[in-house]
Amino acid sequence: MMLMSDLLRMSFHNLLLHKVRSILTSLGVIFGVGSVIAMLAISEGAKRSALAQIESMGIDKILLFSKQPSRIGVSEGSTNASVVESYGLTTRDLTHIGKMDNVSSITGLFNSRKKVLKGLQRTDLQLVGCDFGFLENSPAKIESGRWFSKTDFTKENMVCVIGKNVKRTLFPIGSTNIVGGTVRVEDYVFRVVGILDNPYNSQYQGIGGQNDMILIPMPTARACFKSYTFTKEARMFQITKIDYDVLLVQVNDTTYIDNTAKRIAGYLNNVHGQTKDWDIVVPLELLKQQEQTQNIFTIVMGSIAGISLIVGGIGIMNIMLASVFERRKEIGTRRALGAQKADILMQFLIETVFLTTMGGVLGIALGVGIAKIITYYSAMPTVYAWWSVVLSLVISCVVGIIFGTYPAWQAAQQNPITVLRSE
Amino acid sequence: MDNIVELKQIFKTYITGELQVPVLKGIDAEVERGEFVGFIGSSGSGKSTLLNILGMLDVPTSGEYRLENIEVSRLSDYEQSEIRNRKIGFIFQSFNLFPHLTIEQNIEVPMIYARVSARKRRQRALELARQVGLGHRLGHRPTQLSGGECQRVAIARALSNNPAFILADEPTGNLDEKTSDEIMKLFHRLNDDDGVTIVMVTHNPSLGPHYDKIIRLRDGRIDPTPFEWERIPS
């Protein structure tokens, strides 16, 4: 068989000869690869943002939430006028879990359930008591001002650190003296010492996003509200006693996070007995599940886009078959001059593979363009994984081999006699 | 005796459905090294079929075809391609040059299939182009050349791998008389000066005087009656 370098040069030369036709022929592959790349970029983007959301809770953490138990059979009070309901995670739980193996620290959040008003309007903001170690356990950064001091805790100072959404909601745009200003909730007035920015706006079940929180020191919260919260629902006045709404458990080694979570669950089962007034979430577990779901999503999206690649391949096969017929005289002459069947086969096969690979390269550019446009207009994040680019190139090459083989074989089977006779 | 081509009792029968059409009915012929041989026959005489067999594009139904003392008609496609490439120099009536290649590239094609390095191919192409009088047109394309020049390129291409013989199929069929003469002169020069063996297949009896040996085909057989030059008005 002829030298590979000659074979490649010859095939390339042939494609350059028909530039427009070559591009039209590979359009199918261009769009096929383009849609595969775009689809993968979109689903990869969706995956990253979903995972980032989960990761923002902390993959080295176990989250415990207090949950209102279902009311069936629970009625401590005699009348419906007022019911004192006590449930959820207690200070005892916190101390006990804090001493477990593999637990490096534990901090709690307590939601006062006070209505935070702006003028007369109710807002989504929450007044939340937190432990001193909370900042370390959250991905938030101090935007301006400072975090609480130890004295704020020991002296039960009336100070608060606000999330950045709180700043936007409660203070007029352009306010300069927010730190040092005050926030008023019901009859309580807190001095703002710092502003927090949580880039993920980590959500905590029962409390909401961290950027919507007005954080106050836990001792201050206890001093103001004890552990009681008062809510008025319809005509029922309800008193709830709750120590902690959320416990953030930081583990030393994420390898054993499952084990630790099981032990915590076992302990809570023992202590809280039948009433299921708590919930446990392991973000790492969620992350793994989410990753699986997203992978399936990616595969499905990719396969649908892949169908267009097959269509593109069939288009190329068609045109190559026509090209074989059109170039019978060339084939016959080459055979007469000494080309073997393998030479002819390889020439046509490599031409097809060139076409599809070129289509692949253009398709990648197109796909990246589509993804960029989508991101630009819909704010949907798109991420190009390097493997999707490599995969597309490999696939377009394979498409060329699959759909080029038959036309190339046809070319090699052309009988030089009939071909040379047909003038 | 140094025979390049030996044909022994070549039969060729085409089978179309139930119909058997015998085309060649026992051809015996020899071509010696350095000879200029003409196979002359009218259409339907089996001339094209014989050409295909000589060019190893077709195989005889029975009989022996020895090329430089090697029986070639039963070889594999791969081996036949090799022999076509190295031993036979094809020249066609309609030139069959590749229109998108330059003259130089056209001359190089058989050498590409013989795996000759690019440098040696260029060298040889230049040498051959000069030999056929086209040394100054290497970069041109066939469409820029006249018919006679195209056939010269085809001759150069046929010579590129130093074949055992040149197999020319009606090489002057598409040319006017004057150009025809020039091409025939070129063939003579190659034959006389360089000792190139030439086998020419034609229907044109007026080319008769050019050949060292004439083999006349009639109805699939060799016509033993001597060629009568005198009858052709000149």
- Asked whether residue A60 is assigned to any structural domain, the reply reads no
CATH code: domain of residue B10: 3.40.50.300
- Give the A:B interface size as CB pairs under 8 Å: 67
| Chain A CB contacts of B112 below 8 Å | 2-3, 6, 10
| Chain B CB contacts of A341 below 8 Å | 77-78, 81
Together in a domain, A48 and A162: no
| Chain B CB contacts of A330 below 8 Å | 98
Structure tokens at B107: 């001359």
**Chain-chain contact of B100 with A13 (C-beta, under 8 angstroms):** yes
Confirm or reject contact between B109 and chain A (CB < 8 A): yes
A50, containing H or E segment: helix A19-55
Structure tokens at A411: 């070319």
From A334, A339, A417, residue closest to B57, measured CB to CB: A417
What was the pLDDT predicted at B63?
92
Mean pLDDT by 10 residues, chain A (423 residues): 85 86 89 88 84 78 83 48 71 87 89 81 87 85 89 91 89 83 87 88 80 91 76 66 87 87 90 83 85 86 84 91 91 92 94 92 92 86 85 90 94 83 55
- Asked whether residue B49 is assigned to any structural domain, the reply reads yes
Longest CA–CA span in chain A (Å) reads 109
Confirm or reject contact between A16 and chain B (CB < 8 A): no
Together in a domain, A47 and A139: no
Confirm or reject contact between B193 and chain A (CB < 8 A): no
Together in a domain, A180 and A260: yes
- Asked whether residue A293 is assigned to any structural domain, the reply reads yes
Residue pLDDT, tens place only, B75-96: 998 999 999 999 999 999 889 9
Give how far A420 is from chain B: nearest CA, Å.
Answer: 9
Together in a domain, A260 and A112: yes
- Asked whether residue A412 is assigned to any structural domain, the reply reads yes
Q: How many domains does one find in chain A? A: 2
User: Is the Cβ–Cβ distance between A341 and B77 less than 8 Å?
Assistant: yes
From B48, B77, B109, residue closest to A337, measured CB to CB: B109
| Domain end position, chosen among A250, A276, A302 | A276
Together in a domain, A206 and A271: yes
| Domain end position, chosen among A229, A245, A276 | A276
Confirm or reject contact between B114 and chain A (CB < 8 A): yes
**Chain-chain contact of B86 with A330 (C-beta, under 8 angstroms):** no
- Asked whether residue B234 is assigned to any structural domain, the reply reads no
- Asked whether residue A59 is assigned to any structural domain, the reply reads no
| Chain A CB contacts of B48 below 8 Å | 421
Listed in sequence order, the DSSP H helices in A206-340 are 218-225, 257-272, 283-326, 328-336
- Asked whether residue B232 is assigned to any structural domain, the reply reads no
What was the pLDDT predicted at A135?
86
| Chain A CB contacts of B161 below 8 Å | 338
**A17-21, B112-116, B167-171: range with lowest mean pLDDT:** A17-21
Together in a domain, A134 and A194: yes
Confirm or reject contact between B98 and chain A (CB < 8 A): yes
What was the pLDDT predicted at A40?
86
- Mean pLDDT, residues B168-182 taken together: 90
Kindly give the interhelix angle for A4-17 and A19-55, rounded to the nearest 10 degrees: 100
Residues A373, A376, A381, CA angle at the centre, nearest 5°? 95
Average pLDDT, chain B: 89
**Chain-chain contact of A338 with B110 (C-beta, under 8 angstroms):** yes
Together in a domain, A23 and A128: no
**Chain-chain contact of B92 with A333 (C-beta, under 8 angstroms):** yes
What was the pLDDT predicted at A84?
67
Together in a domain, A256 and A342: no
Comparison of pLDDT for B208 and A404, the residue scoring more: A404
Q: How many domains does one find in chain B? A: 1
Q: In one letter, which amino acid is A263?
A: R
pTM confidence score: 0.73
Together in a domain, A125 and A228: yes
- Contact map slice: A 317-336 vs B, CB within 8 A: 329-330, 333-336
- Asked whether residue A370 is assigned to any structural domain, the reply reads yes
What was the pLDDT predicted at A72?
47
Antiparallel, parallel or unpaired: β A159-163 and A188-197:
parallel
- Asked whether residue A282 is assigned to any structural domain, the reply reads no
Question: SS3 letters for chain B?
Answer: CCEEEEEEEEEEEEEECCEEEEEEEEEEEEEECCCEEEEEECCCCCHHHHHHHHCCCCCCCEEEEEECCEECCCCCHHHHHHHHHHHEEEECCCCCCCCCCCHHHHHHHHHHHCCCCHHHHHHHHHHHHHHCCCHHHCCCCHHHCCHHHHHHHHHHHHHCCCCCEEEEECCCCCCCHHHHHHHHHHHHHHHHHCCCCEEEEECCHHHHHHCCEEEEEECCEEECCCCCHHHCCC
* Rounded-to-integer distance, Cα B181 and Cα A401, Å: 50
Antiparallel, parallel or unpaired: β A246-251 and A103-111:
antiparallel
**Chain-chain contact of A17 with B100 (C-beta, under 8 angstroms):** yes
**Chain-chain contact of A417 with B52 (C-beta, under 8 angstroms):** yes
**Domain of B101, in residue numbers:** 3-226
User: Is the Cβ–Cβ distance between A228 and A219 less than 8 Å?
Assistant: no
Non-local CB neighbours of A148 within 8 Å, separated by 6+ positions: A132, A159, A161, A193, A194, A217
Together in a domain, A328 and A226: no
User: Is the Cβ–Cβ distance between B113 and B131 less than 8 Å?
Assistant: no
Together in a domain, A13 and A82: no
What was the pLDDT predicted at B154?
95
| Domain end position, chosen among A276, A305, A325 | A276
**Domain of A101, in residue numbers:** 68-276
- Please give the DSSP secondary-structure letter assigned to residue A89: B
**A175-184, A363-372, B189-198, B225-234: range with lowest mean pLDDT:** B225-234
Non-local CB neighbours of B103 within 8 Å, separated by 6+ positions: B129, B134, B137, B138, B139, B140, B141, B142, B145, B153
Comparison of pLDDT for A284 and B128, the residue scoring more: B128
| Chain B CB contacts of A421 below 8 Å | 48
Question: Which pairs from B104-111 meet CB under 8 Å and 24+ separation?
Answer: B104/B129, B104/B138, B104/B139, B106/B142, B106/B153, B106/B157, B107/B153, B107/B156, B107/B157, B107/B160, B108/B160, B109/A334, B109/A337, B109/B157, B109/B160, B110/A337, B110/A338, B110/B85, B110/B157, B110/B158, B110/B160, B110/B161, B111/B160, B111/B161
Give how far A360 is from chain B: nearest CA, Å.
Answer: 27
User: Is the Cβ–Cβ distance between B232 and B208 less than 8 Å?
Assistant: yes
